[in-house]
Amino acid sequence: MADASLKGAMPETHDGRSLRIGVVHARWNRAVIDKLVFGVRQALHDCNVPNDNIVVQTVPGSWELPGAAAELISGSDFDAIIAIGVLIKGETMHFEYIADAVSQGLMRVQVDKCIPVTFGVLTVLTEEQAMARAGMSAGGHNHGEDWGFAAVEMGLKRKLWR
Ligand code: DLZ
């Protein structure tokens, strides 16, 4: 059995009852997206974030995520944003351009706006890989849960550090 401490972040438990979290997700690859959003909600619930403090918005595709995250932050008082998309490589260069722009864009938003933006974008080669990362296949793990816990931790740390 592999040593769990060698892979991934060691989890910390945080109480998110004071937090307001914005979730924005793309609608491409919707079945996988819905599972990831479910995992996010589960983690936020486990951290006591009130349902009324969770705002979920959708955009057409992952390309739209950075702009939407910036708008959400500008328009309301969130402690963290979780941006969710599923990019699956096709036959053209589309995947490379969008994956690169979206990851850079989300990082730019979080640094420029000083609000944690959790990177919930799967960049995978096949639908099977996406499904495994949404906990939809045997032995898979829903990464949405990790993103929810990361948003709570960083939202609280942002409050502490200000
Ligand atoms: C166009 C496109 C393609 C080919 N693939 C995906 C994908 O796998 N995942 C995703 O979230 N969005 C995809 N899109 C849509 C773009 O992100 C974007 O919504 C459109 O180009 C309109 O700006």
Give residues (CB < 6 A) around ligand 1: 26, 28-29, 60-64, 85-88, 90, 94, 98
pLDDT grade, residue 78 (50/70/90)?
very high
> Whose alpha carbon is nearest atom 8 of ligand 1?
87
Mutate which of 32, 33, 63, 129 for ligand 1? The one with the most ligand atoms within 8 Å of its CB, which is: 63
Other beta carbons within 10 Å of 119: 18
Which atom of ligand 1 is closest in space to residue 63's alpha carbon?
Answer: 17
Determine the distance separating the centroid of ligand 1 and the alpha carbon of 144, expressed in angstroms: 20
ipTM over 0.85: yes
Q: DSSP secondary structure string, 104-121?
A: HHHHHHHHHHTS-EEEEE
Residues written for the chain: 162
Which one of 14, 25, 94, 143 is the catalytic residue? Answer: 94
Q: DSSP secondary structure string, 75-113?
A: HS--SEEEEEEEEE--SSSHHHHHHHHHHHHHHHHHHHH
> Whose alpha carbon is nearest atom 2 of ligand 1?
61
Q: How far is CA 143 from its chain centroid? A: 8
Find out whether 56 and 14 touch, Cβ atoms under 8 Å: no
Determine the distance separating the centroid of ligand 1 and the alpha carbon of 157, expressed in angstroms: 33
Determine the distance separating the centroid of ligand 1 and the alpha carbon of 95, expressed in angstroms: 8
pLDDT grade, residue 92 (50/70/90)?
confident
Determine the distance separating the centroid of ligand 1 and the alpha carbon of 28, expressed in angstroms: 7
Q: Where do the domains of the chain lie, and which CATH numbers do they carry?
A: 18-161 (3.40.50.960)
Q: What percent of the chain has pLDDT over 90?
A: 88
Please say if 94 is a catalytic residue: yes
pLDDT tens profile 1-12 = 445 556 677 767
Query: Tokens at residue 106, please?
Result: 């989300």
Dihedral sign computed on CA atoms, order 44, 48, 50, 53: negative
